Amino acid sequence: MHFKLIIVFVDDNKTDKVLKAAREVGATGATIINNARGEGIKQQKTFLGLNLDTQRDVLLFLVEEHLSRKIIEEVSRAGLFDEEPGSGIALQIDVEDAIGVLHQAKKITQSIETEL
């Protein structure tokens, strides 16, 4: 099996919605890193030195490559990434090797067979 790592940066109030959407199209799990900060084209405003920006979460999905495009598109749709500027971004990178995912191989294989 070949894997992709989907990395999603999303407002923390959309994390659950994005997770649910990813699971519905084949993601078998995720790692969530809370309270990340990011800055886009415009610098964030501060008030007495405190940031007024919303908190972000980083979601990491290790997925089989045949499912990756569908998952990333669904994540984008659920998070409204193209409709609301600053709501989040998603990207995927190739994974050369992965260990510790054999327990998920049966489920992943079934999902791929359904897709193909």
pLDDT tens figures, 37-82: 766 666 666 555 555 566 789 999 999 898 999 999 999 999 999 9
Predicted confidence at residue 86, as pLDDT, reads 79
Q: Tokens 């600053």 label which residue?
A: 86
Read off the pLDDT of each residue in 82-100 and give the average, rounded to a whole number.
89
Could you give the angle at which helices 65-79 and 15-24 cross, rounded to 10 degrees?
140
Q: Position 7: which residue type?
A: I
Q: Position 87: which residue type?
A: S
pLDDT tier at 107 (50, 70, 90 boundaries)?
Answer: low
The total number of structural domains in the chain stands at 1
Predicted confidence at residue 46, as pLDDT, reads 57
Name, in order, each residue with C-beta under 8 angstroms of 6's C-beta and a sequence gap of 6 or more.
Answer: 22, 27, 59, 60, 61, 63, 68, 71, 72, 75, 90, 91, 92
Structural domain including 59 reads 3-41+50-115
The pTM of the full predicted model, rounded to 2 decimals, is: 0.79
**CATH number of the domain within which 93 lies:** 3.30.70.120
Task: Round to whole Å and give the CA distance between 57 and 35.
Answer: 6
Read off the pLDDT of each residue in 100-109 and give the average, rounded to a whole number.
69
For residue 70, give the H/E element and its range. Answer: helix 65-79
Give residue-wise pLDDT tens across range 7-36: 999 988 999 999 999 999 999 889 999 988
